[in-house]
A and B are shown apart, each in its own frame.
Chain A
């Protein structure tokens, strides 16, 4: 079990299997109805983010990705939480708005490069993001499954 320090970008709490991906543009790259990555050039093509912790350094491309992420969270096809390596405004705003409109509780946190590499290398291990209190953010990799 590993615990990492993280910076809260969007508060919340989530615990789910991780999915590590290179930067994806949600706009044009994620089908928010079917919950699938549809960008044929992306290594995650065909995979779903539903009920996963998305581990991605940053978003790519258009700011319309905020809308697509919010739409996915509305439809229940979006990620349970997001771990970033940068202060990504596009994904954070999608989560902020979905948390407001749909009472979702999707946290977005940022970790340093070393921690990010460690988390991204952990495959689909369980990740817990506890960003309910900004003062003590915990990101636990592979917590004891029950």
Chain B
């Protein structure tokens, strides 16, 4: 049975206006669904509701705009339907472009930050260990919980905004310490010397999602120099193939100094060993192409590319002469783009034919010139969703393989396992 604080009740009664009353009705109704006894405060939110899915998306937000409500905590926004910095890239229906733009604008009127990124953890101010937050967007949720040690349940459309406006969420799910214990253990192969580590981390994520579903797993054996970008790739793939919202990387992530800490002192229900050959099989299974097949494009940056990933890309491009033989798209946030422009990397990449897309993503909105045919990516998440969303066939490989393939104009997969 849900017990509300006096302030919650005042919100519900409309003492703070219609918008807060609506938002609190939604949070309280969700608490019933989650079987929570109480609500707790949050210190930040990330909202996935600015991607246009139809009139209901706008009806919802406009109710809050009309009521004069504002978000009560620092709130970032996920990708929208348009690249507002490069609107000419949009190749779809004008009506949807207009509604999508209004949806993004309406969220800004509610006081949200114009971040428009699926990787809010790459922004300067990000949650810390133990912070209670309400994040939507599956890859952001798994990163916040696992890599930052902040606490969020799997929030999604509507509830994310209601939580940001009330600054309250149900005291349930991954907000609760006991629910964050790993229950299964995944023993990873030695990836220290792998020539395609980025693709291996994504492949391990695919396996994790398939094995774990929504169960919290502890992964042992990952390299001591594992990067945030590698954990990002792992988490995004795991949240695509399963409902993974939290994993622990033993010795790497903040709630997993030891395996015992990740398990919160209990014995695991099972331990699954993953071999290098297993990862090779996953990479091959997600690549629906043969070496030598002609490529229409390469798409990188799902989730949004970090500055480090752009530096790696620039170095890989430097190994090849001339122009690539197919389009190269890289999705990122406007903040990362601005930093790249300051450092001169953006201009260099543009001169080599790289199209940087911001505020949105190549698999949710029509920006690619050619969407029929074969597109290569190093993103497990893109490989998972793009075929159904935009009708492409996907080749999957490491960033290095993607770049080489772009310059050859055909799929090149390195021979070694």
Residues of A within 8 A of B (CB): 8-10, 27-28, 32-33, 62-68, 70-71, 73-74, 87-90, 92-94, 96-98, 100-101, 108
Could you list 18 examples of A-B contacts with CB < 8 Å? A32-B54, A63-B155, A64-B48, A68-B54, A71-B54, A71-B56, A89-B34, A89-B156, A92-B30, A93-B30, A93-B33, A93-B159, A96-B33, A97-B26, A97-B158, A100-B22, A100-B26, A101-B59
Q: How large is the interface on B (under 10, 10 to 19, 20 to 34, 35 or more residues)?
A: 20 to 34
A27 to B56: give the CA distance in the assembly, Å.
Answer: 14
Where chain A touches its partner, the secondary structure class is helix
B35 touches A67 (CB 8 A): no
The residue on A at minimum CB distance from B29 is: A96
B158 touches A66 (CB 8 A): yes
A96 touches B53 (CB 8 A): no
B156 touches A66 (CB 8 A): yes
Which chain B residues numbered 10 to 42 have a C-beta less than 8 Å away from chain A?
Answer: 22, 25-26, 29-30, 32-35
A71 to B103: give the CA distance in the assembly, Å.
Answer: 15
Residues of B within 8 A of A98 (CB): 56
A101 touches B136 (CB 8 A): no
Shortest distance between the CB of A50 and any CB in chain B (Å)? 16
Q: Which of A9, A62, A64, A100 contacts B33 (CB 8 A)?
A: A9
A8 touches B154 (CB 8 A): no
B25 touches A100 (CB 8 A): yes
Contact with A along B144-168 (1 / 0, CB 8 A): 0000000001111111000000000
Contact with A along B117-146 (1 / 0, CB 8 A): 000000000000000000010100000000
Q: Which of B34, B56, B154 contacts A74 (CB 8 A)?
A: B56
B138 touches A63 (CB 8 A): yes
A97 to B61: give the CA distance in the assembly, Å.
Answer: 11
Give how many A-B residue pairs fall within 8 Å (CB-CB).
95
The residue on B at minimum CB distance from A33 is: B54
Residues of A within 8 A of B29 (CB): 10, 92, 96
Asked, given contacts A96-B26, A100-B26, A101-B63, whether A71 binds B35 with beta carbons under 8 Å apart, the answer is no
A97 to B22: give the CA distance in the assembly, Å.
Answer: 9
A68 touches B53 (CB 8 A): yes
Residues of B within 8 A of A8 (CB): 32
B157 touches A66 (CB 8 A): yes
Residues of B within 8 A of A65 (CB): 156
Say if the beta carbon of B60 comes within 8 Å of chain A: yes
Say if the beta carbon of B389 comes within 8 Å of chain A: yes
A28 to B364: give the CA distance in the assembly, Å.
Answer: 11
Residues of A within 8 A of B158 (CB): 66-67, 70, 93-94, 96-97
Asked, given contacts A64-B53, A100-B26, whether A90 binds B156 with beta carbons under 8 Å apart, the answer is yes
B33 touches A92 (CB 8 A): yes
Shortest distance between the CB of B100 and any CB in chain A (Å)? 13
Shortest distance between the CB of A120 and any CB in chain B (Å)? 21
B59 touches A89 (CB 8 A): no
Q: Which of B34, B157, B385 contacts A67 (CB 8 A)?
A: B157
Q: Which of B56, B57, B154, B388 contacts A63 (CB 8 A)?
A: B154
Shortest distance between the CB of B288 and any CB in chain A (Å)? 15
